[in-house]
Amino acid sequence: MNYVLDSSKAHHKYFEELCYIPHPPFQEKALSEYVIAFAKERGLWHYTDSLYNVVVKKPATPGYENAAPVMLQAHMDMVCEKTPEKVFHFETDPLQLQVRDGWVMATDTTLGADDGYGVAYMLAILDADDIPHPALECFFSVQEEVGIGGPRGMDYSQLSARRYINLDGVQEGSTNVSTANVIGGDFKRPIVMQENSKPCYTVHICGLSAGHASLNIVKDQANAVKLAARILFAIGKEAKVHLASIQGGTIRNGIAEECDATFACEASEEHIRDIVAAVFAAAREEHELTDPHMDIRLQPAPTAPLVMDDLSSSEAIHLLHVLPSGSHMTNKRAINPTMSLASRNMGNVSSADGVLTVGYMFRCNIKSQLWDLFDQTCLLASRFGAYYDREYVYAGYTADTEHSEMLKLWQKVYRDFTGKELYLKYTHGGSDIGSINDGMGGIDAIVVSPDIKFVHRPTEAMDLASFDRTFEYVKAILAQLK
């Protein structure tokens, strides 16, 4: 095989090899088999489950026999995004690696350095005979990118470590000291349709800045579904509105970028246009800093044969209008950059098969506050006939920054190598750490990662020099875990 990276370095070699094994979420089987084959060849203890989580254990090296074991963990799945032009099948095609200015990337697709770097580090360490370490429990997890599925489905009796190096970050010289608790699911409201002969219109909202809610919710951007609800509510104040359909947003995790709502209404087209224009003008002013490309258009639509009945339509509109979507409060501990502490996001909406479905996520870095917000929101929604269909809950993690031995060690190692202070990061995103911490009944965790940019985008790239330096940090941490 001709390597693009420097295959004389084990972590480069393994990173490149895994890039050639397709590994989207839910399709980690091939990569898990690769890891198991790797373990078998080396006679290492290994475990796998029906989700394709894999654990490989390696005994302590000489001198470390009495040290407590340490867990290393990275997830095998990757986000699959490509440029619109690119013809690429993530399920079957190997990534096309290239190196530019010291950064490795995959041509016109995500690279999956998130979290391939961590998988590569674990394989390199398991393979080595010259890296000193205590007993290792290497956890190759699955489905991180789609709701922390692997760690939530794991049988933790397979693991025993009380200390843990998470290899799933994006910034060299940083560690997460706070990640969010997350609840994901849908608000659902039954809808009843009736026959229609009134004229119909479609309001189309697009051009919003959108992006991932964990990062962008704090920016108070416009949400296309909320805007649609505001417009429908405004029209509904003046004339009867019968929703025919509403469709907006894509992923539940994202701020809704677009929304189409088709409705029947007997008010004059001119009157409806005036109302839409007024809301558009207001929303444009309100969001001029965050959503300069906002566009809202009203178009006559073919008469829909079926529309929601009076009650279903007004309740659907009211529900969407009243359900909060945005940052609830900011994290006062994290000041640079500003982060949300608690937030709710209406990611998408659809109406079909007699149900209005609203993809909705709750995030909060403090667990009690998450459930308080959840209670309030579900109580509110219940008054509009909607219940929450919870799909998953995953735990956040809050480091005990005063007492964490792992954190102290990582701070020391980073200082020794660079003379700089480790950056303690508060995020509003979820990660595997919280679920693993929960599963293990509490574990002392740190995050060690190289610099990766444009994560989750087709331009994703990893700094190879940082990839090398960070491997040295990991080795130094392991060496000091006596």
CB atoms within 10 A of CB 270: 7
**Contact, 244 vs 196, CB < 8 A?**
yes
Residue 459 touching a copy of itself (CB under 8 A): no
Residue 231 burial (CB count, 10 A)? 27
Interface with a copy of itself (CB under 8 A), residue from 131, 251, 366, 424:
366
310 binds a copy of itself (CB under 8 A): no
Place of tokens 């203890």: 45
Q: State how far the alpha carbon of 309 is from the alpha carbons of 113, 199, 314, in Å.
A: 50, 15, 8
Residue 80 or residue 210: which is nearer to a copy of itself going by CB? 210
Nearer to a copy of itself, 282 or 352 (CB): 282
Q: Which stretch binds a copy of itself (CB under 8 A): 91-99, 173-181, 291-299, 328-336?
A: 328-336
Contact region for a copy of itself (CB under 8 A) — 149-157, 247-255, 365-373, 452-460? 365-373
Smallest distance, Å, CB 440 to a copy of itself? 22
Q: Which of residues 232-291 bind a copy of itself (CB under 8 A)?
A: 233, 281-283, 285-286, 289-290
Helix locations, 347-404, DSSP H: 367-382
Question: Shortest gap between Cβ of 318 and a copy of itself (angstroms)?
Answer: 6
The span of 18-26, 104-112, 149-157, 373-381 binding a copy of itself (CB under 8 A) equals 373-381
Q: For residue 106, which amino acid is it?
A: A
Q: What are residue 293's phi and psi, to 5 degrees?
A: -105, 15
| 159 vs 386 by CB, closer to a copy of itself | 386
Residues 195-224 that bind a copy of itself (CB under 8 A): 219-220
Cα distance between residue 124 and residue 218, in whole Å: 39
Find the part of the chain contacting a copy of itself (CB under 8 A) among 155-163, 194-202, 269-277, 371-379: 371-379
Q: Is 329 in the site for a copy of itself (CB under 8 A)?
A: yes
326 lies in the site for a copy of itself, by CB under 8 A: yes
Side-by-side strand order, sheet with 444-447: 45-48, 54-58, 136-141, 70-75, 163-166, 444-447
| Residue 324 binding a copy of itself, by CB under 8 A | yes
Decide: is 442 part of the binding site for a copy of itself (CB under 8 A).
Answer: no
Size of the site for a copy of itself (CB under 8 A): 33
Whose Cβ is closer to a copy of itself: residue 373's or residue 406's? 373
Among 376, 405, 416, 423, binds a copy of itself (CB under 8 A): 376
Closest approach, Cβ 321 to a copy of itself, in A, equals 6
Q: What is the DSSP string of 88-104?
A: --TTTPPP-EEEETTEE
* 3-state secondary structure (DSSP) of residue 97: strand
Instruction: Give the residue with the Cβ less far from a copy of itself, 167 or 341.
Output: 341
Q: Which residues of 5-26 are buried (b: 16+ CB within 10 A; e: fewer)?
A: beeebbbbbbbbbbbebbbbbe
Minimum CB separation of residue 236 from a copy of itself in Å reads: 11
By residue count, the chain amounts to 482
For a copy of itself, the closer of residues 128 and 366 by Cβ is 366
428 is an interface residue for a copy of itself by CB under 8 A: no
Please, which residues have CB within 8 angstroms of residue 307's CB and are 6 or more apart in sequence?
A: 193, 194, 196, 198, 200, 242, 243, 244, 263, 264, 313
CA 210 to chain centre: 14
73 in Cβ contact with 168 (< 8 Å): yes
Pairing of strands 444-447, 193-195: unpaired
* Candidate segments 28-36, 39-47, 134-142, 375-383, binder of a copy of itself by CB under 8 A: 375-383
- Determine the Cα–Cα distance for residues 343 and 113; give it in Å rounded to an integer: 28
421 forms part of the interface with a copy of itself (CB under 8 A): no
Instruction: Identify the residue among 68, 301, 380, 479 touching a copy of itself (CB under 8 A).
Output: 380
Q: Which of 206, 209, 205 is nearest to 291 (CA)?
A: 209
Tell me phi and psi for residue 458, to 5 degrees.
-65, -15
Nearest CA among 316, 107, 300 for reference residue 192: 316
118 binds a copy of itself (CB under 8 A): no
Among 65, 266, 295, 375, binds a copy of itself (CB under 8 A): 375
Rounded to an integer, what distance in angstroms lies between the CA atom of residue 315 and that of residue 334?
Answer: 38
- Specify the residue, 241 or 413, whose C-beta has the smaller distance to a copy of itself: 241
**Contact stretch for a copy of itself (CB under 8 A) within 265-273, 378-386, 401-409, 441-449:** 378-386
Cβ closest to a copy of itself, residue 7 vs residue 290: 290
Interface with a copy of itself, residue 85, by CB under 8 A? no
Residue nearer to a copy of itself on the CB measure, 50 or 368: 368
Phi, psi of 425 (to 5 degrees): -105, 130
Q: What angle do CA 17, 55, 61 make, to 5 degrees?
A: 90
Residues that bind a copy of itself (CB under 8 A): 219-220, 230, 233, 281-283, 285-286, 289-290, 318, 321-322, 324, 326-330, 332-333, 341, 366, 368-369, 372, 375-376, 379-380, 383-384
